[in-house]
Structure 1
Amino acid sequence: METSKKASSWAKTPPTQNKTSPSPLHVAPRNQWPSHPTATFFRPALYTYYTAMLTFSRRLLRIFALALDLPEDHFDSITKHPMTNVRAVHYPPQASDSDVGIGAHTDFCWFTLVTQSHTAYPALEVLNANGIWVPVHHQPHSFVVNIADFLKLVTGGAWMSTVHRVRNIGGEERYSMPFFFSPDEDARVSVLEGFRRRGV
């Protein structure tokens, strides 16, 4: 039985690029795509998904701003060219007594959107406020939204990072495509007014 997960990551680069081999030294890396003729669908399909997720993330960020009692467009100025990437991940089935597929962790971006395949036994688990691992069941036409470390910092800890892990012990293949979102690379951010604590 195959036990190790496989993942492929990509970020925003022009979809017209034809790079299929590693970049030489001192050249900005670009996404590398399969060059085999049978894989021609791969790049446009994933860019379509990426574009939709970026649009959705920007809308979600405006909802976050309102939830934080900020103007709806508060984060627009620092997300003109946000740092984003997607991972396509395959988790083979694990033995029921095996170790965790991905150990407990938080993400280090602002937030993560997760779409996952339907499995009878949910592999994704989140740690609730009582220290109990809760399985995240697949819901059709929905995403899991994980608050990540930088958004926790910006809110002064009012919004906590989602501690999560993966245990694919249900005997099925699992596929997931998390989308990671953060502000512009050169954005200057600090703890929001109203969320700052004295001495912090």
Structure 2
Amino acid sequence: MELLDALIAGGWLMIPLLGCSLVAMVIIIERLWTLRAGRIAPLGLGQEVCTLIDQGQVNLYWLEGHSPLGGILAAGLRNARLGHEQVRARLQEAATAVIHDMERFLSPLGTIAAITPLIGLLGTVVGMIEVFSVIVTADGVERTADLAGGISRALVTTAAGLTVAIPALMFHRYFQRRVEDITVRMEEQAGLLVEYLAHHQGEVRLDDRRGGAAEARA
């Protein structure tokens, strides 16, 4: 009940603050689930792919569906016959798409972290304007409630804005760091494949069909 009273005391500016808090919460939960390193870039996948190539058992369709990192490696392998530089280029293109997907919704989360304190500050200004208006036109004790209402709005909106902004900013920085860490892991795994292909200029057997095997020159 006290929370509801505080929200009401904050006035109409509490509506955008509540909206921002809900959006931030949804983004945080979704990114916590999506940005799992084990799902995007499983450890050891690059070495496993090199081993499977040696055995002639790597299936590109399986690799693409394995994980985002698998899709990156598969993009490089599909162009193995085009040469070392083409493999690097395709790996980079596929990695850029995966990184873009990992950064999805981070910009709105950062925006929420930036604007909610400003909305709270706006509430403070509006509340103080009401306070000074009451002071100027004060009719004695009869206007005490209006004076208290203006002060309450000034305090509540500021507190609400900071309450939303602080965790939003913390998670925004955390997700940025996680994206960087996962990107480094993907680069390391892709580097293993590039090095392997550079040292195996002979025939590399790849299963490039759903039901059969195909051969490509690396």
TM-score class, shorter-chain normalisation, is under 0.3
Q: Point out the structure with the larger helix share.
A: 2
TM, length-normalised to structure 1: 0.23
Larger RCO, structure (CA 8 Å, separation 6 or more): 2
Rg larger in 1 or in 2? 2
Q: Point out the structure with the larger strand share.
A: 1
TM, length-normalised to structure 2: 0.22
